[in-house]
C-alpha cells in the first residue's frame, strides 16, 4: 500500500515508517518538524535502505494537503501529527484543540475527496480517564484531566461520525498505553525537546548524566510498591500494531488497545533499567504529580483476537533499547553546575 504518514519524523511515526517500509509498503511523510528533525529521514532510509518521500508541511493547511493528496494516490493514512505535551495542553488549550482537531478533520475530508478508504488514528489510553484497569475498548470513556486527552477523545468521535456518514471511509482507532524504547539500531528513538515529561527519557538522561536524579512522583499509591503502575509497550511493537491495523482494516470503525496487558511500577522499571544496563539511576521520592492515575494498563486481548497482534518485547528489551539510543545520541552530560 502507498501510505501517507503524518508526523512521520516523530517518535512513534518514524518507527512505524520503518515497519511499513520493511513490510513492503511505500511511505509519504508529512511533518512540520515542530517537534522532530529532518535528520530522522536519513535514519529511516539508512535502517531500511528505502527512499522516503517527505513534505515539510502543516497538516492543518487544507490547500497544500489537497495538492499532496492530488499528487499521490494514497491507499491509507496513518495520522500521528499532533501536539502531545499534557502539561502544555493545560496552559495552551486553544493551540491543542485547533491543531489536533483541525488536522484530523482536514485529513478525513481529503480522504473522502480523494477516495482514500483506510484511516488509522494515533489515539491514547488517556481517553479512558479514571476508569479502573484493565482498560477495555468497550468501556465508557471518562473525562481526561487535560485538553490533550480531550483532543484524542474528540478526534475519535469525529472520525467515528465521519465513517458512519460515509460507508467507504474505514477507521482504526489505536489507543497507546506507554510507548518506550527505540529501534535496535539506536539510530531513531525518543528525544524530547527540553526537560522530559515522560519517565523513560528522564531515566535515560539521568543514566547518561544529563540530569542529576530522577524524581519519583509518589510512593504512596495503592500499588505493589507504592509507585505508579503503567503498561509500557516497546515502540517497535507499537509500530507493528499499526501495520496489523492497516492491513486488517475493512469495514467501519475499529478500536484497539495497543499495550502488553502487564503493569510495571516506576521503581520496578528503574530497577530493571539498572540491571539490564549496569548503570545507576539515582532517584528521590517526591510528591505525586497532579492528574496521575495510580494504575493504568490494558486488556490487550481484542488486538490479539482481531489483528493477530501481541507485544513481543518485554521490559528488559525496552530498557536496553532506550539506553542504546540515549548512549549513541550526541546529547552530552551536563557539568555539575549545569544539571
Ligand atoms: C509514567 C509513570 C509517573 C516522570 C503520559 C501521557 C499519556 C501518554 C503517555 C501521549 C507515572 C511516573 C514520570 C517522572 C515519575 N502520552 N513518573 N517521574 O503519565 O502514564 O502518560 O505519557 O499519548 O497521554 O499522559 O506517562 O511517562 O509521564 O509517567 O515518577 O519524571 O512514571 O508518575 O506513574 P503517563 P509518564
Phi first, then psi: give them for residue 332, nearest 5 degrees: -90, 155
Which distant-in-sequence residues (6+ apart) come within 8 Å of 165 by Cβ?
A: none
Evaluate: CB of 198 within 6 angstroms of ligand 1. Answer: yes
How far lies 47's CA from each of 11, 43, 185, in Å?
Answer: 15, 6, 8
CB atoms within 10 A of CB 230: 25
pLDDT digits (tens, 9 = 90+) for 237-291: 999 999 999 999 988 999 999 999 999 999 999 999 999 999 999 999 999 999 9
Give strand pairing partners of 286.
217
Name the more confident of 331 and 172. Answer: 172
Report the predicted TM-score, pTM, of the whole model to 2 decimal places.
0.96
Question: How confident is the model at residue 335, as a pLDDT?
Answer: 59
Q: Report the pLDDT averaged over residues 300-327.
A: 98
Evaluate: CB of 126 within 6 angstroms of ligand 1. Answer: yes
Q: How far is the CA of 199 from the centre of ligand 1 (A)?
A: 6
Question: How confident is the model at residue 61, as a pLDDT?
Answer: 98
Q: Which of 11, 128, 148, 221 is catalytic?
A: 148
148 is catalytic: yes
Q: Which of 336, 326, 324, 291 is nearest to 90 (CA)?
A: 291
Residue 1 has pLDDT above 70, yes or no: yes
Q: Which of 69, 80, 71, 54 is nearest to 110 (CA)?
A: 69
| Ligand 1 mutation pick, 190, 216, 217, max ligand atoms within 8 A of CB | 217
Helices (H), 166-314: 199-208, 235-247, 266-277, 301-307
Confidence of residue 208 (pLDDT cuts 50, 70, 90): very high
Ordered by where they begin, the domains of the chain are: 2-183+233-259 (3.40.50.720), 199-228+263-299+313-338 (3.90.25.10)
* Omega prior to 134 cis, within 30 of 0: yes
How far lies 133's CA from each of 128, 145, 177, 294, 318, in Å?
Answer: 9, 17, 12, 10, 22
CB 233, CB 273: distance < 8 Å: no
Residue 339 has pLDDT above 60, yes or no: no
Instruction: For the chain, give the mean pLDDT.
Output: 96
Amino acid at each position: 500500500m502507498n501510505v501517507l504518514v503524518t508526523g512521520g519524523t516523530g517518535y512513534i511515526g518514524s518507527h512505524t515508517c520503518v515497519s511499513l517500509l520493511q513490510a513492503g509498503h511505500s511511505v509519504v511523510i508529512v511533518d512540520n518538524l515542530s517537534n522532530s528533525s529532518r535528520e530522522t529521514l536519513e535514519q529511516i532510509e539508512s535502517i531500511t535502505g528505502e527512499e522516503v518521500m517527505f513534505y515539510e508541511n502543516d497538516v492543518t493547511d487544507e490547500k497544500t494537503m489537497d495538492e499532496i493528496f492530488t499528487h499521490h494516490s494514497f491507499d491509507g493514512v496513518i495520522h500521528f501529527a499532533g501536539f502531545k505535551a499534557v502539561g502544555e495542553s493545560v496552559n495552551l488549550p486553544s493551540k491543542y484543540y485547533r491543531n489536533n482537531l483541525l488536522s484530523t478533520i482536514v485529513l478525513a475530508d481529503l480522504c473522502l475527496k480523494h477516495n482514500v478508504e483506510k484511516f488509522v488514528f494515533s489515539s491514547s489510553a488517556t481517553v479512558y480517564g479514571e476508569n479502573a484497569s484493565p482498560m477495555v475498548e468497550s468501556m465508557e470513556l471518562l473525562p481526561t484531566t487535560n485538553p490533550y486527552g480531550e483532543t484524542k477523545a474528540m478526534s475519535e468521535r469525529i472520525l467515528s461520525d465521519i465513517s458512519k456518514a460515509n460507508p467507504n471511509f474505514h477507521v482504526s482507532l489505536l489507543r497507546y498505553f506507554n510507548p518506550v524504547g527505540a529501534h535496535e539500531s539506536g539510530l531513531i528513538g525518543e528525544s524530547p525537546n527540553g526537560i522530559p515529561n515522560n519517565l523513560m527519557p528522564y531515566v535515560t538522561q539521568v543514566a547518561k548524566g544529563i540530569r542529576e536524579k530522577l524524581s519519583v512522583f509518589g510512593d504512596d499509591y495503592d500499588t505493589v510498591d507504592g509507585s505508579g503502575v503503567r503498561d509500557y509497550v516497546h515502540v517497535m511493537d507499537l509500530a507493528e500494531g499499526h501495520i496489523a491495523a492497516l492491513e486488517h482494516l475493512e469495514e467501519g470503525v475499529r478500536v484497539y488497545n495497543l499495550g502488553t496487558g502487564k503493569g510495571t511500577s516506576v521503581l520496578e522499571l528503574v530497577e530493571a533499567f539498572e540491571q539490564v544496563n549496569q548503570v545507576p539511576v539515582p532517584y528521590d521520592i517526591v510528591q505525586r504529580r497532579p492528574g496521575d492515575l495510580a494504575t493504568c494498563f490494558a486488556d490487550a486481548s481484542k488486538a490479539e483476537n482481531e489483528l493477530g497482534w501481541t507485544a513481543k518485547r518485554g521490559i528488559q528489551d525496552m530498557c536496553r533499547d532506550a539506553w542504546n539510543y540515549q548512549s549513541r545520541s550526541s546529547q552530552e552530560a551536563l557539568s555539575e553546575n549545569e544539571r
